[in-house]
Amino acid sequence: MSDKNLYRLISKGESQTLDFKRTLNDVYKIAKSLTSFANTKGGVLLIGVEDNGKISGVDPEEEAYLIKEAANFYCDPPVNLKFEETLTDEGKTVLMVIVPNSKLKPHKSLTKKGDWTIYTRMYDKSILASEGIIDRMESDVVEDEPVLYTLSPQEESLIDYLGIFQRITLKGYANLVNFSERRARRSLMTLIKEGLVAQHDIEKTPFFTLA
């Protein structure tokens, strides 16, 4: 992920599917976070980012080792993960941990007392799952794993442009990034589907803004 995409993701703030961690040093807490994401809709942990969104950076190898240990030995069944590193323009590394929406839920996490506990994600917190929520987990059918969309350089240029000038037409986007109008339209439709851009038809010529 480019640092621009990272900053854009951080700007959204913590949510049901996004959590910031300055660093990780407790396998029990890590397992709690991983299973709560896997048991809900999946999500992303950004390691090296403080609660206020400030990037502090981490040693990605050290963090990944501990996270893998938690995922494999403190979660039952183990949680599958994907890792991605981003080096910012300030020379700080952020580790992205992508937790898919699991087909094996409910996942349990081991506590310090030796109990296996089921957590779910609500708003930006990991909470104990009620019996009703656990029942829904067991009957949940996961069709597709969430995919974290990565912007192309041309799409990054569009997002930056809209951040300054607020709106653009199809022809304007095509000229901005040297696309044919057909290719520009496909790109815009993808961004609309990803929830990044919105189309407006209130004028004679449709225009696009940030969603």
pLDDT in tens, 198-207: 999 888 889 9
pLDDT tier for residue 3 given thresholds of 50, 70 and 90: confident
pLDDT, mean of residues 113-117: 95
Continuous segment of H or E residues that includes residue 186? helix 181-193
pTM score, whole prediction = 0.69
In tens, the pLDDT along 40-54 reads 989 999 999 999 999
Copy the structure tokens of residue 156: 């990054």
* Portion of the chain with pLDDT greater than 90, in percent: 66
Query: Which residues of the chain form CATH 3.30.950.30?
Result: 3-139
CATH number of the 153-210 domain: 1.10.10.10
pLDDT tier for residue 120 given thresholds of 50, 70 and 90: very high
Q: Which residues, 6 or more positions from 173, have their beta carbon under 8 angstroms from its beta carbon?
A: 158, 179, 184, 187, 188, 208
Is the pLDDT score of 79 beyond 90? yes
In tens, the pLDDT along 13-25 reads 999 999 999 999 9
Distance CA 12, CA 148 (A): 14
pLDDT tier for residue 98 given thresholds of 50, 70 and 90: very high
Distance CA 26, CA 23 (A): 10
Q: Which residue has the higher pLDDT, 12 or 64?
A: 64
Bridge partners of 122? 125
Residue carrying the six token digits 């940030």: 210
pLDDT tier for residue 93 given thresholds of 50, 70 and 90: very high
Q: Which residue has the higher pLDDT, 20 or 146?
A: 20
> Exposed, middle or buried: residue 32 (CB in 10 Å: 0-12, 13-18, 19+)?
buried
- 3-class secondary-structure state, position 57: coil
pLDDT attached to residue 138: 84
Distance CA 96, CA 47 (A): 6
CB 30 within 8 A of CB 74: yes
Copy the structure tokens of residue 163: 């951040």
Distance CA 9, CA 14 (A): 10
Is the pLDDT score of 87 beyond 70? yes
Torsion of CA 17, 22, 25, 28, to 10 degrees: -20
Q: Name the DSSP letter for residue 171.
A: H
CATH number of the 3-139 domain: 3.30.950.30
How far is CA 52 from each of CA 12, 20, 49, 79, 135, rounded to the nearest angstrom? 11, 9, 8, 27, 35
Distance CA 13, CA 107 (A): 26
